[in-house]
Chain A
Amino acid sequence: GDSVTQMEGPVTLSEEAFLTINCTYTATGYPSLFWYVQYPGEGLQLLLKATKADDKGSNKGFEATYRKETTSFHLEKGSVQVSDSAVYFCALRTDSWGKFQFGAGTQVVVTP
């Protein structure tokens, strides 16, 4: 079945450091891929998405490129801030009805 694997956390970084969170997937067909972010005490918010191979999603300085050849969708940010501290979830949309498969989540802690 479809699945998402992302790197385990917590990931602890200093402010202005470079962030990468790895995400790989297994799916039949060509799913849409997403990164969601969950700030402390809040619900999930969409961070970015990509709907086909080689698409790059970007938002708030974060980027991720849909790599079909490596079945990956790694999240990157060049210079993190304390406000980026959150849990990040990689996800894929598995069917036209809107069912999603989520990764385990990666907690990111950014220190001043």
Chain B
Amino acid sequence: SAVISQKPSRDICQRGTSLTIQCQVDSQVTMMFWYRQQPGQSLTLIATANQGSEATYESGFVIDKFPISRPNLTFSTLTVSNMSPEDSSIYLCSVGQGSNTGELFFGEGSRLTVL
């Protein structure tokens, strides 16, 4: 299993500002995934972060709004840029188990409220 730490765990932000969420994993992993969970909703994949290359974004998400860094095999950041109240969500970092049938492990999430 993997232990994933996210910071901050929660924050209240002002409209128009940006916030960077950090994700630290206790082991080296190839792929890291960033999800968004809007209030009362399911999880939506934002992007896949592969070390040494640009992140791959899902439909509806763009790099200018959600820039991602992946400087090494245990760390990633997600920035939520120019925030609006619609960005109020829980943002979850996750990593997959090595096998192709393995599960995802999640951090505890970063709950952002944008005023």
Spell out A's residues near B (CB within 8 Å): 32, 34, 42-46, 49, 51, 89, 91, 93, 95-100, 102-105
Contacts and interface: CB of A to CB of B under 8 A. Distances in A.
Contacts of A103: 42
16 contacts: A32-B101, A34-B104, A43-B108, A44-B43, A44-B92, A45-B106, A46-B103, A93-B101, A96-B100, A97-B48, A97-B96, A98-B96, A100-B43, A102-B42, A102-B43, A104-B42
Given A97-B31, A98-B31, A104-B41, A34 B92 contact: no
Contacts of B101: 32, 49, 51, 93
A105 B96 CA distance: 20
Contacts, number: 54
Given A102-B42, A104-B41, A44 B106 contact: yes
B45 interface: yes
